[in-house]
């Protein structure tokens, strides 16, 4: 559902409401990364969620009109969680 909504948004002009959705998604992604579950099954679900969010953002970028790509992706990357050397990725 999220994927389809994002592709629809990317095909038209991207306004503040779409950016707010991404802001919320990225906030949840950061929370998911910061609060890793120690339970294996729960962690698998968290990883699946994280992958879906990242893949959705990638598809959104692929479908943006050229004149909006740089501006929108700079906004998204500015909100994207940053990793340190000590962080486990994946």
CA angle 21, 79, 77 (to 5 degrees): 105
Confidence (pLDDT) at 44: 92
In a domain, 86, yes or no: no
Rounded Cα–Cα distance for residues 2 and 14 (Å) = 16
Show the low-confidence residues of the chain (pLDDT under 70).
1-16, 83-90
In a domain, 6, yes or no: yes
Question: Which of 28, 24, 18, 32 lies closest to 63, judged by CA?
Answer: 18
- How many folded domains does the chain comprise? 1
In a domain, 48, yes or no: yes
In a domain, 87, yes or no: no
In a domain, 21, yes or no: yes
In a domain, 53, yes or no: yes
In a domain, 89, yes or no: no
Confidence (pLDDT) at 41: 92
Quick one: tokens of 9? 């948004």
In a domain, 90, yes or no: no
Which residues span the domain enclosing 57? 2-79
Quick one: tokens of 36? 């890793």
């Amino acid at each position: 559902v999220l994927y389809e909504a994002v592709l629809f948004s990317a095909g038209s002009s991207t306004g503040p409401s779409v950016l707010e959705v991404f802001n919320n998604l990225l906030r949840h992604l950061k929370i998911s990364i910061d609060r890793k579950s120690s339970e294996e099954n729960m962690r698998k679900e968290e990883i699946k969620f994280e992958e879906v969010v990242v893949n959705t953002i990638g598809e959104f970028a692929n479908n943006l009109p050229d004149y909006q790509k740089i501006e929108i992706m700079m906004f998204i990357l500015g909100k994207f969680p940053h990793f340190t050397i000590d962080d486990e990725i994946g």
